[in-house]
Amino acid sequence: MAWGVDIPKPRAPRRKPYLLAALGLAALVAVTVGLSRLRPAAPTVDKASVWLDTVKRGPLVRQVKGTGSLVPESIRWLTADTAGRVERIHVRPGATVTAGTLLLELSNPDVQLQALEAERQLASAEGDFLELRELLQTQRLSQQATVATLTAESAAATRRARLRLPLDAPRA
């Protein structure tokens, strides 16, 4: 004989989890619809940061402070024909300039040496020019003296020849 044989009970259908899921889904839809219909709330301001005053006519000055970095809209790079070192800056960044405004001074020892060498060569060439001009002047005067001497000798020879002509003529 079997003692305590269990009798199977028919299982009741499980409705509770389905009911909880449906209620949760309905609540989620209701919250979503409710939030989508809300209007934005008016901003709140601390009363200590608000100034109350009467309205007056005049210029409106508005100052804004903020953190960050300013970035230019466009950048213009300056280039030089030769390398050099910046000796003096005449205009600071952001200043308004016009054509012909001196921006900065560059120095380059190599270019300065080349300029000194060019000046020395110029002085030497000017000295050579003056020397050649004096030499040409001396040669011109020497040639004029030679021409004058030859002219004088020619005149003397012509005069002597005229004086001899009557003497050399046949006597008749």
Give the C-alpha separation, 143 to 154, whole Å: 16
Neighbours of 132 (CB within 10 A): 10
Digit-by-digit pLDDT tens for the chain (172 residues) are 556 677 877 787 788 888 999 999 999 999 999 998 888 888 888 888 888 888 889 898 888 888 888 787 888 787 877 788 888 999 988 888 899 999 888 888 888 899 999 999 999 999 999 999 999 999 999 999 999 999 999 999 999 988 887 666 665 5
Ordered DSSP codes for 53-69: -----SPPP------S-
Give the C-alpha separation, 163 to 156, whole Å: 11
- Residue type (1 letter), 145: A
Predicted TM-score (pTM) of the model is 0.37
Q: What is the largest CA-CA distance in the chain?
A: 213
Domain map of the chain by residue range?
A: 142-172
